[in-house]
Amino acid sequence: MKKSKLIVEHLYEFELLGFVAPVKDYKIAWIVNTCLDLKLAKIEDYELEFINGSKLCVSQYKFEKENGFIQLLKNKSFIHDTNSLYLIPELKIFDYFLLVQDFTSEVDINDYIDRLSSNALIQNVVKLDIDKIKSKENLLTY
């Protein structure tokens, strides 16, 4: 019997910001809402189970737009396991990720970086290249 392989290619149609902000998730959501004039709201926590049995659970906030969305994800899992799990393990330095999907080009990502950088509680904001992230599949929360 001939075996067939199913190859799935995901589309990453969003821009990604990573930032260092050692504050609670509700506080960073409030900061992002204030700086960017958004209305991020807490939604169900994002859970991911791995083949080895470990489980990742991160908080997420989302703002639905007419032609896209803006989503705030915490990088570090809040389930206390024997070892800390990260949404993007190769980018442990970042506390949060902001996914910006906008099909209208109404969002200026550089303006978002400038506005977030002006807040004293956010130490660093960086635009990340999604194609260079090894575990980018973890960002697909749908």
SS3 42: strand
What is the rounded CA–CA span in Å between residue 52 and residue 137?
Answer: 17
Nearest to 99 by CA among 79, 57, 127, 131: 127
How does pLDDT run across 85-96, given as a tens digit for each residue?
888 888 889 999
Encoded tokens for 90: 């190769």
Residue 142 has pLDDT above 60, yes or no: no
Question: Confidence class of residue 41 from pLDDT cuts 50, 70 and 90?
Answer: very high
- What global pTM score does this model have? 0.82
